[in-house]
Amino acid sequence: MKNEDSFISLPWELERDAPEFEGNDIKSPESLARYFIRKYTKKGDSVFDPFTGLGTTLFVAEELGRVPYGIEAEREKYEWVAAQLDNWMHIINGDAARVLNYPLPKMDFCFTSPPYMKISDKWNPLYSGDPSKAGYDKYIKRMGFIYKKIAEKMKRNALVVIQLDNIDGKRFTPLVRDVGLAVSKSLTPIGETIIKWENGKKDYPHTHCLIFKKK
């Protein structure tokens, strides 16, 4: 499958206000999820976000007539999203690494942006900061494990799109490369789309979306 759209532009516009406990600084614009859901799914398809966050993927999927499913580890975020989602029973408050333990169907499509971690960080967001699981290497290993389990929940030939950003700093974090390599052990990489934000933040001109396929 050829990825025709290697470079695209999308508007940076937040259509839904974030809750006061988070703010808009962690949200991606709905245009991003909408672009990929329209491109790779049809009405009635199941759309899965294993790192639901503030629910952008699920809200857009529902808006477009797809069936949303999600997992969110943080109780506060889970309750906020579930309270506004028509298919609220399809979102689970839990750990994405335990996806096979939850009563979820096989999925047609997955679109998500996982929690990021810098090379220099100790706090590992995939283990809720457990000191015994500190460090970037364990984060990348866990990311690979999670997507191995997610792969088992995807239908044959289903696509998985992951939004990622490299992180600048005293030590550059090549998150796009490192997560991509970890995920490619379980899913077949078929392309990358770089999205330029129209009228976006000056310090955030673009983002990356890696595209994988379940064979």
Q: For the domain that residue 204 is a member of, what is the CATH number?
A: 3.40.50.150
Asked if pLDDT for residue 202 goes beyond 50, the answer is: yes
At position 131, the amino acid (one-letter code) is: P
Asked if pLDDT for residue 25 goes beyond 70, the answer is: no
pLDDT for res 201:
82
Give domain status of residue 13, yes or no: yes
DSSP β-ladder status, 188-198 and 7-11:
parallel
185 CA to centre of own chain: 18
pTM of the predicted structure, to 2 decimals: 0.95
Give domain status of residue 78, yes or no: yes
51 CA to centre of own chain: 6
Q: What's the structural domain count of the chain? A: 1
Give domain status of residue 164, yes or no: yes
pLDDT for res 22:
83
Task: Please write the tens of the pLDDT for every residue from 56-85.
Answer: 999 999 999 999 999 999 999 999 999 999
Task: Please write the tens of the pLDDT for every residue from 162-191.
Answer: 999 999 988 999 999 999 999 999 999 999
Q: Where do the H-state alpha helices sit in the chain?
A: 30-40, 56-63, 75-82, 136-153, 175-183
Q: Rounded CA gap, 67 and 57, in Å?
A: 11
pLDDT for res 200:
80
pLDDT for res 3:
52
Task: Please write the tens of the pLDDT for every residue from 5-20.
Answer: 799 999 999 898 888 8
What mean pLDDT is reported for the chain? Answer: 94
pLDDT for res 2:
52
Give domain status of residue 1, yes or no: no
Give domain status of residue 2, yes or no: no
Mean pLDDT score, 35-55: 97
pLDDT for res 145:
98
Structural domain harbouring 132: 7-213
Residue 12 CB contacts under 8 Å (≥ 6 apart), including other chains: 29, 31, 197, 198, 199, 200, 201
Give domain status of residue 28, yes or no: yes
